Amino acid sequence: MHDHLLTPEQRAVRDEARAFARDVPRRLLLDMDAERVRYPREYVKEAAARNLLGLRFPKEYGGRGLGWASEILAIEEVGVLGTSLGCLYSLPSIVGEAIHRFGTEDQKKRYLRPTLEGKLMTAEALTEPRGGSDFFGTTTTARREGDTFVLSGQKRFVVGAEGADYFLVYARTDPDAAPHKGISAFLVDRGPGVEVAHVYGLMGTRGGGTGRLVFRDARVPAENLIGRLNGGAEVFYRMMVPERLTSAAG
């Protein structure tokens, strides 16, 4: 973006992000491409240490309270490092949008703030083996059992799956409802019933931990439902804003 269009604050953020990208070791990029590094956790932690993750989120949750322009400027700078590192840098913004817009205060404290502080790694589980990007064709299910939901199904091409501590997962909660009215969103911790079954060695995106997730009766606390029950479409539509903007920028 041209300098004359930027405020002094925006130029400062851009320069910070540029310095961060410049400081990433060349060896890390080579090791990722050779698959000696399958998930660069320290890279994400360093971005967090410089307070460069989720710039637009409020300060109380670990952001800086800046606008979209500042965040896009930062992503443009980080994007020179390649697809894997650009995507991993953007994930806190993408998943964070769902938590910030639809999450409870408790969810923001347990997930959003630690993510922006680099204490938790996150990933978004959307695509499925049978449907590509057909969100409303979701076959992963979540059935209610008391104060938990039991998830079963698969997701694939999940960027950051190898290193994520938790996932934003969409699952069908009402099989009898219309496709856009029977899906819910959940924050699913890595643990029993959640398996990274395969890590894809995709050309140009190696080292980013892109993998296939399998849920085998994974139990998720009901308090980890994001937004309202069967309201996953609302979360999805909102989350597409940062996903498309960050993809275009980085």
Euclidean distance between CA atoms 29 and 45, whole angstroms: 16
Instruction: Decide if 208 contacts 88 (C-beta within 8 A).
Output: yes
Euclidean distance between CA atoms 147 and 195, whole angstroms: 22
- Give the number of other Cβ atoms within 10 Å of residue 107's Cβ: 18
- Tell me if residue 243 is catalytic: yes
Beta bridge partners of 151: 142, 218
Among residues 71, 128, 162, 243, the one annotated as catalytic is 243
Helix, strand, or coil (residue 195): strand
Euclidean distance between CA atoms 130 and 217, whole angstroms: 20
Helix, strand, or coil (residue 156): strand
Q: Cα separations (Å) of 5 from 2, 11, 13? A: 6, 10, 14
What does the buried/exposed string (b/e) look like for 79-106 if buried means 16 or more CB atoms within 10 Å of the residue's CB? bebbbbbbbbbbbbbbbbbbbbebbeee
For the chain, percent helix, then strand, then coil, each to nearest 5? 45, 20, 35
Catalytic residues: 243
